[in-house]
Copies of this chain bind each other. A is one copy, B any other.
Amino acid sequence: MSTLAILGNGRVGSGVATALARAGHTVSVADRAPGAAATAIGAAQIVLNATPGAGSLERLTALGEPLRGKILIDVSNATLDGPDGLPAALLYPGSSLAEQLQAALPDTRVVKTLNTMLYSVMTAPGSLSQAPTAFLSGQDPAAKAIVGGLLADLGWEREWITDLGGIETARAVEAAILFVPHVIRSRGFAPFAISIAR
């Protein structure tokens, strides 16, 4: 069992925190305030970023010292939103938030995952009628293995998890957010996950 700090107490952060605590992990949730985040990070082995992606790089870079040596799971999406509040464009086209975070935090092991689905699917992947995919992107295989274990605790079966490769592969999964407004407009907030059918 791990000690986790979840940054962000919106639907994503709260949902993941509840599910990981239920699985037996020690979980603290911090809102976006830097002081609360630093305290939570200090006590944790693993940190999960569920703060709004557009501000995440600045927010987490400021937390570089407490994040040193930790695994940082980034589930956020860095987008420019349209007037309806849905993602309209990527904030880092030709790159990705995860790559920017890894470059800014060289002593932290960044793993990108879970940003390619409606938030409710993150902690209930078995609720879909088709097999969903959870992608892993990151430089460190050991960190990805640990994150894969947490995904298992959230209900993800091993064959649903695809390790795409290094942190640069986050560019693909972050671009997948471009599907989201169209999927939601055509079918509403029904659970879905961008997935690889094989």
Contacts and interface: CB of A to CB of B under 8 A. Distances in A.
Given A94-B93, A178-B171, A179-B172, A186 B198 contact: no
- Number of copies of this kind of chain in the complex: 2
Interface residues of A, number: 36
Given A128-B197, A133-B197, A198-B191, A172 B162 contact: no
Interface of A: 89-90, 93-94, 128-133, 162-165, 169, 171-173, 175-176, 178-179, 182-183, 185-187, 190-198
Given A130-B131, A183-B196, 18 more contacts: A130-B130, A130-B195, A130-B197, A130-B198, A164-B182, A164-B183, A172-B176, A172-B179, A175-B175, A190-B198, A192-B196, A192-B197, A193-B196, A193-B197, A194-B195, A194-B196, A195-B195, A195-B197
